[in-house]
Amino acid sequence: MTLLRGGMMKRFLALGFPIFFCFASPSHGGEYDVERNQMVNEVMADAAATASSSGTSALSPQVVAAMRKVERDRFVPGWLSSLAYLNRPLPIGHGQTISQPFIVALMTELMKVKAGDRVLEIGTGSGYQAAILGELAGSVYSIEIIEPLGNEAGERLKTLGYRNVKTRVGDGYYGWPEAAPFDAIMVTAAASHVPPPLLKQLKPGGRMVIPLGTQFMTQSLMLVEKKPDGSVATRQILPVRFVPLTGGH
């Protein structure tokens, strides 16, 4: 989950916004359809603008369709619903954020998820990224270390009908070994290195997308590819800012 840029939370407080983290009700019909489509158009423009560094000139039709379908306002606190379709991160409580839509789309695109794939996500947050992956993959396994967030996201995803997404509370550094191997792994928090347990759980031929770096230093979004012979290749994609990967490691 990307960090808030420019002190957004401080500005909310300074403007007198109450910081309540009650999430939006699942019972509305298309209230933000126009805003969501505009957000996706902005995300596509960002993908084109960063093509030289990301290596991704255009998002696939499948990723675009998922971004247009999943209602981001269901995954943010209710008091932020009207801001849900800005192309920026937003707070979700417990010091965490929902990632910028462009970053969500780019990380999803880099993993090249196909129908039937088994995907692992580290850092469920509010469940938005898991829902996007759930539109593309056969099965998604998502781990969140913060218990209230993990429990709420699990219930939210069930309510929204994502039966192919399984969630649990735990230390994502160690992955989900009993569900491995995975065709793709996404880490949505910054680590100082690629966790060896995750690399072990990645199938040969699989892809991992992970931000590497520390909280107060430059971080880089990295694409990690495990070759069919088990060797590993990495490629730096973009500079990013994410909350740190936490846990007992």
Residues serving a catalytic function are 99
Round to whole Å and give the CA distance between 15 and 50. Answer: 33
Start-to-end CA span in the chain (Å) = 19
ω into 181 cis (within 30 of 0): yes
What is the Cα 169 distance to its own chain's centre? 16
* Neighbour-count burial for 98-134, b at 16+ CB within 10 Å, e otherwise: bbbbbbbbbbbbbbbbeeebbbbbbbbbbbbbbbbbb
For the chain, count helices (H), then strands (E). 8, 9
Residue 23 has what DSSP assignment? Answer: B
Round to whole Å and give the CA distance between 91 and 76. Answer: 8
Round to whole Å and give the CA distance between 86 and 35. Answer: 8
The residues facing 169 across adjacent strands are 144
* Neighbour-count burial for 197-226, b at 16+ CB within 10 Å, e otherwise: bbbebbbeebbbbbbbbeeeeebbbbbbbb
Minimal CA–CA distance to 100: which of 247, 193, 211? 211
